[in-house]
């Protein structure tokens, strides 16, 4: 099975744009969709982006997802950073046998 | 409104078997493409996918835990049960259940609040 590698942490000031990467260790990033979840402290995760770049209902358009085949990675970009964006973010995908995989998570700090 | 709630023991001893129940409402596990999965999160660590069961009783398991995991459903009770055998302190975690929506997209759109299970003698 493959792994999804995320940076341990990223940070940005209010109003700035941050990007969180998610790199697939083996197999093509395009072979299965990537999802993104946000987990605020003490809360359950919630879906933010599904199928690479589809915003879940109610998610503001400041959040966007993309795929970069050249680096075999997916990215979550948050523009116009707000204090309430501070959370842990996880990418998730699956293999050809429908076994799901989560990335190691990235802690976003709003300075 | 879709809700999921995990229940089970908060403390188990090493070598024991953990049995967790996910009780849900607002959807049915007889609806095509719907699934319910289990995910765990050790304190301060990342999410780990464990297992998933679908409306047609298809099941998938984490390769690293497959030999210890069993997932079943009771559609009449709107429940999904996860068992994890031979518990070890490293299995201490918050266990979540979550729904895969009927759209067929492979994500979890609704999560339970989670239940913390501690493994200790």
Q: Quick: pLDDT tens for B59-114.
A: 999 999 999 999 999 999 999 999 999 999 999 999 999 999 999 889 999 999 99
Whole-number pLDDT of residue A7: 98
Chain A residue numbers with beta carbons less than 8 Å from the beta carbon of B111 are 44-46
pLDDT band at A33 (very low <50, low <70, confident <90, very high): very high
Nearest CA-CA distance, residue A79 and chain B, Å: 23
- Asked if B105's CB is within 8 angstroms of A94's CB, the reply is no
Closest partner residue to A99 among B47, B63, B109, by Cβ? Answer: B63
Nearest in space to B20 (alpha carbons), one of B109, B119, B106, B97: B97
Whole-number pLDDT of residue A38: 98
Is residue B56 over pLDDT 90?
yes
Whole-number pLDDT of residue A74: 98
Chain B residue numbers with beta carbons less than 8 Å from the beta carbon of A47 are 107-109
pLDDT band at A60 (very low <50, low <70, confident <90, very high): very high
Rounded (5°) CA angle B34-A96-B88:
75
In a mutagenesis test of the A interface, which of B37, B46, B112 is the best target, namely the one with the most A β-carbons within 10 Å? B46
- Asked if A44's CB is within 8 angstroms of B96's CB, the reply is yes
Q: Are B95 and B113 in contact (CB under 8 A)?
A: no
CB contacts < 8 A (A, B): 59
Rounded to whole angstroms, how far apart are CA atoms A107 and B36? 27
- DSSP result, B11-64: EE-TTPPEEEEEEEESS-TTSTT-EEEEEEE-TTS--EEEEEEETTS-EEE-TT
Percent of chain B with pLDDT over 70: 100
Nearest in space to A53 (alpha carbons), one of A61, A45, A43: A61
Whole-number pLDDT of residue A81: 98
Closest partner residue to B49 among A47, A54, A101, by Cβ? Answer: A101
List strand residue ranges (DSSP E) for A18-94, in order.
18-24, 35-39, 46-50, 54-55, 63-68, 73-78, 87-94
Closest partner residue to B60 among A56, A90, A99, by Cβ? Answer: A99
Is residue A1 over pLDDT 90?
no
| Buried/exposed code over B5-23 (b: 16+ C-beta within 10 A; e: otherwise) | ebebeeebeeeeebebbbb
Q: Are B29 and B78 in contact (CB under 8 A)?
A: yes
In a mutagenesis test of the A interface, which of B106, B109, B110 is the best target, namely the one with the most A β-carbons within 10 Å? B106
- Sole residue written with tokens 């299965």: A32
Which residues numbered 41-80 in B keep a CB inside 8 Å of some CB on A?
Answer: 46-49, 52, 60-63
For residues B105 and B43, the model is more confident at B43
SS3 call for A20? strand
Structure token pair of residue B94: 């918050």
Residues facing residue A39 across a β-bridge:
A88
Whole-number pLDDT of residue B110: 97
SS3 call for A12? strand
């Amino acid at each position: 099975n493959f792994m999804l590698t995320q940076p341990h942490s990223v940070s940005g000031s209010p109003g700035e744009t941050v990007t969180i990467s998610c790199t697939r260790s083996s197999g093509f990033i395009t072979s299965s969709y990537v999802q993104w979840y946000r987990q605020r402290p003490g809360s359950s995760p919630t879906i933010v982006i599904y199928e690479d770049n589809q915003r879940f209902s109610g998610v503001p358009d400041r959040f966007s997802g993309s795929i970069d085949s050249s680096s075999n990675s997916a990215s979550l970009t948050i523009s116009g950073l707000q204090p309430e964006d501070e959370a842990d973010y996880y990418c998730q995908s699956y293999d050809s046998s429908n076994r799901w995989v989560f990335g190691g998570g990235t802690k976003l700090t709003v300075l | 409104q879709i809700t999921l709630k995990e229940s089970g023991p908060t403390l188990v001893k090493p070598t024991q078997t953990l049995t967790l129940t996910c009780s849900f409402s607002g959807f049915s596990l007889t609806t095509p493409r719907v699934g319910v999965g289990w995910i765990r999160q050790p304190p301060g660590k990342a999410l780990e996918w464990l297992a998933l069961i679908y409306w047609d009783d298809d099941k998938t398991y984490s390769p690293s835990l497959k030999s210890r995991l069993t997932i079943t459903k009771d559609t009449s009770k709107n429940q999904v049960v996860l068992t994890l055998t031979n518990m070890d302190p490293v299995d201490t975690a918050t266990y979540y259940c979550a729904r895969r929506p009927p759209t067929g997209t492979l994500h979890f759109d609704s999560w339970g609040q989670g239940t913390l299970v501690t493994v200790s003698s």
